[in-house]
Amino acid sequence: MGESAAETVKEIEEVRGDLEGKVRVLERRLPKAAVLGKRVIGIAVGGGAGSTVFWFAVRRLRKRRAPASKRKPVAQVGNTTIELAVPEISDEARPWLYGAAAMWVVIRLADIREARRTNKLLARRAA
pLDDT of residue 81: 64
Same domain assignment for residues 2 and 44: no
Same domain assignment for residues 85 and 109: yes
Same domain assignment for residues 92 and 110: yes
Closest CA to 74 of 61, 97, 62, 91: 91
pLDDT of residue 40: 84
pLDDT of residue 74: 63
Same domain assignment for residues 17 and 59: no
Same domain assignment for residues 26 and 60: no
Residues of the chain with pLDDT under 70: 1-2, 31, 34-35, 66-71, 73-87
pLDDT of residue 96: 86
pLDDT of residue 80: 66
